[in-house]
Amino acid sequence: MPARLPILPGATLGILGGGQLGRMFTVAARTMGYRVMVLDPDPQSPAGQMADVHLQADYTDHGALKKVAEACTAVTTEFENVPAASLVELSRYTRVAPNAEAVAIMQDRSCEKTWLRENGFATAPFALVSNEIELKADATSAGFPAILKVSRFGYDGKGQIRVNSLKDLMSAFAELKGVPCVLEGFVQLASEVSVVLARTDSGECRSWPVGENHHMNGILDTTRVPASVNQSIQERAQITAMQIAGKLGYVGVMAVEFFVDQGGNLLVNEIAPRPHNSGHYTLDACVTDQFEQQVRVLCGLPLGDTRLLSPVVMVNLLGDVWRHGPDWMALLQHPGIKLHLYGKAEARPGRKMGHYNCLAESVDSAASLAAKTREMLGIIPL
């Protein structure tokens, strides 16, 4: 992309997708003096509540895309399932970052895994499956146990089924309605880590410290920073994430999730073309958070400092917690806790409603505070 003039405060920025990531982008952008237009069909969109303008229309609605293109000096996205064709359409009229090609790779697990393999990045063993014959043939190559995952529209552990035999596999494929899938060998995990980074048009890349992630039922539960995995693994994770962003020619904030196996090998699990749940700790613990950085990259401003200011543990708040009527007063009596709620009216089990960051002198103290408050809120202990 040629060098271009920075987009300065006062301009209008657009975002496709109005979930919590869009909401935190909107807050960051408005804090910096930009106007924000959100495109999301949901009238109760978390980002729409914070935006200057909320266009309630589908992501493929040409009239709505035209309005976005006319009003916005630059446009970004907050979720990978935004149709790549809509980004292409917008990019004819206005600046769009990340670009449609990168988003298209990451929105399809089969494309993503294939791209990673072709570009020399280690992943769990996998096979692409689109019919029963392939399924039978590939079952042997992936081995058991394995996980069958839908290629598109899966998130937070949804659209994936763990299988232990060919019989399981056949019924899992039927349960997933025979859609294209990736069959992935099950990795004996030592830990899971992620790297969130930002890359500019000119190829400057800055990452935040590695997060150590714990999942529950396939959904991120906590992120601990600094991670307790050894330094060499952390350095390799940072380098690999930057290499991936470089090879994609990526512009924007992106996240790379890794498995660490028992031998200390790093396997890329997923890449996301947007800020990431495992980067929410940056909101309170870093000089610049991932959403401010998203604004900076989009606008061609200099990147902010990604330095960690305090050890931190981020705890996700799922709708399940609302069963007990969350006691915010009890949570907030701890002065090191920073609460973020996403403005969602309906608290369904497994739905991400918010998160909180526990800041303390050491990461172990932050983890104790997280454990104590999780228990108080009725979240199942780690």
Write out the residues near ligand AMP by the rule CB under 6 A. Answer: 124, 147, 149, 157, 184, 186-187, 189, 192, 215, 218, 257, 269-270
CB of 162 to ligand AMP, least distance (A): 8
- Pairwise CA distance, residues 118 & 121, whole Å: 8
- Compare residues 158 and 348 and give the one whose CB is closer to ligand AMP: 158
Q: What angle do CA 340, 304, 343 make, to 5 degrees?
A: 15
CB of 165 to ligand AMP, least distance (A): 17
Following DSSP, what letter does each residue of 295-318 receive, concatenated?
Answer: HHHHHTPPPPP--B-S-EEEEEEE
Determine the residue with CB nearest ligand AMP: 187
CB of 109 to ligand AMP, least distance (A): 8
CB of 147 to ligand AMP, least distance (A): 5
Helices (H), 265-349: 282-285, 290-299, 328-332
Q: Nearest to residue 275, comparing CAs of 264, 265, 286?
A: 286
- Compare residues 218 and 343 and give the one whose CB is closer to ligand AMP: 218
Other Cβ atoms within 10 Å of 67 Cβ, number: 17
- Compare residues 71 and 189 and give the one whose CB is closer to ligand AMP: 189
To which H or E segment does residue 238 belong?
Answer: helix 231-248
CB of 185 to ligand AMP, least distance (A): 6
Q: What angle do CA 309, 311, 317 make, to 5 degrees?
A: 110
The CA distances from residue 281 to 87, 127, 277, in Å, are 29, 34, 9
Centroid of chain to Cα 267? 17
CB of 346 to ligand AMP, least distance (A): 23
- Pairwise CA distance, residues 277 & 91, whole Å: 27
Q: Tokens for 282?
A: 């940056």
- Pairwise CA distance, residues 40 & 16, whole Å: 7
- Compare residues 12 and 107 and give the one whose CB is closer to ligand AMP: 107
- Compare residues 108 and 257 and give the one whose CB is closer to ligand AMP: 257
- Pairwise CA distance, residues 84 & 99, whole Å: 8
CB of 365 to ligand AMP, least distance (A): 26
CB of 104 to ligand AMP, least distance (A): 19
- Pairwise CA distance, residues 74 & 95, whole Å: 5
CB of 192 to ligand AMP, least distance (A): 5
- Compare residues 270 and 289 and give the one whose CB is closer to ligand AMP: 270
- Pairwise CA distance, residues 18 & 77, whole Å: 9
CB of 21 closer than 8 Å to CB of 5: no
- Compare residues 67 and 215 and give the one whose CB is closer to ligand AMP: 215
CB of 366 to ligand AMP, least distance (A): 21
CB of 305 closer than 8 Å to CB of 287: yes
Q: Nearest to residue 181, comparing CAs of 141, 128, 111?
A: 128
- Pairwise CA distance, residues 265 & 233, whole Å: 8
